[in-house]
Amino acid sequence: MAEEKTELPGSECPFQAAMDLISGKWTMSIINTLMGGTMRFKQLERAVTGINTRMLVKELKLLESKELVHRQAYATVPPTVEYSLTEKGRALQPVIVAVQQWSGNQM
Amino acid sequence: MAEEKTELPGSECPFQAAMDLISGKWTMSIINTLMGGTMRFKQLERAVTGINTRMLVKELKLLESKELVHRQAYATVPPTVEYSLTEKGRALQPVIVAVQQWSGNQM
């Protein structure tokens, strides 16, 4: 039997490496929402249709580790946390516009 | 305790509905590869870096159900199957170009 090709991380292919960063279910919707500017957690949760608290917490941690989102905590009482796009995250604007155009024409 | 917002299907938001169609880990790499033209399974498996047989079978079924890929079977002996992009799949070209430019500039 031909040896089963093991699934390698896609990083060998630059395109797949890019998709690995942005292909999470909610990733691009969160980035699209933050294009509007800095937001707090509850604002984001209300703005991203369909997401719940647990999923948003997980996705924001992932986005921060991928350097697409910046997390800023303030030592207020109670503490406040704000999320904004990094330069790398904001540079996804053309991808978002292309998806919006495809969605408008094809769906 | 504030009632936990259940995770709804993103379909209420057109952008999220579009991302639901294209945000699979290998989805856009398969579509990008088929931009080159009709291919058979083994050609596709070799061309999509890092994917394995089981994953490609699963993704192609999904892509067919989402009307992004067309599957054409021929009653040859043994039977041959070819995959190509539908018009809806081919219309993702600008999204692919935008991801490639982002990847080139940001990674």
Summarised one tens digit per residue, pLDDT across range A23-43 is 989 999 999 999 999 999 999
Q: Which of B6, B11, B34, B99 should we substitute to test contact with A (largest number of A Cβ atoms within 10 Å)?
A: B99
Element (H, E) at A34: helix A27-34
Q: Is the pLDDT of residue B42 over 90?
A: yes
Q: Read off the DSSP letter of residue B11.
A: G
Shortest CA gap A75–chain B (Å): 24
Q: What CATH number has the domain spanning B19-106?
A: 1.10.10.10
Q: Which residues of A touch B8 (CB under 8 A)?
A: 49-50
Cα B41 from Cα A5, distance rounded (Å)? 14
Q: Kind and range of the H or E element at A22?
A: helix A14-22
pLDDT of amino acid B7: 53
Residue B83 neighbours by CB distance under 10 Å = 21
State percent of chain B over pLDDT 90. 78
Tell me the per-residue pLDDT of A37-69, one tens digit each, with 9 for 90 and over.
999 999 999 999 889 999 999 999 999 999 999
Q: Which residues in chain B are closer than 8 Å to A19, comparing Cβ atoms?
A: 25-29, 99
Provide the pLDDT for residue A10.
44
User: Would you say the ipTM is above 0.95?
Assistant: no
CB hemisphere CA count around A41 (13 angstroms): 16
Question: How confident is the model over B44-86, as pLDDT tens digits?
Answer: 999 998 899 999 999 999 999 999 999 999 999 999 999 999 9
B99–A15 C-beta distance less than 8 A? yes
* Whether the predicted pLDDT of A7 surpasses 60: no
* Residue A50 token pair: 């369909």
Q: Is B72 helix (H, G, I), strand (E, B) or coil?
A: strand
The domain limits of chain A are 18-106
Q: Do B97 and A92 touch (CB under 8 A)?
A: no
Instruction: Specify the fold of A18-106.
Output: Arc Repressor Mutant, subunit A (1.10.10)
Length of chain A: 107
In this predicted structure, the answer to whether residue B9 has a pLDDT above a threshold of 80 is no
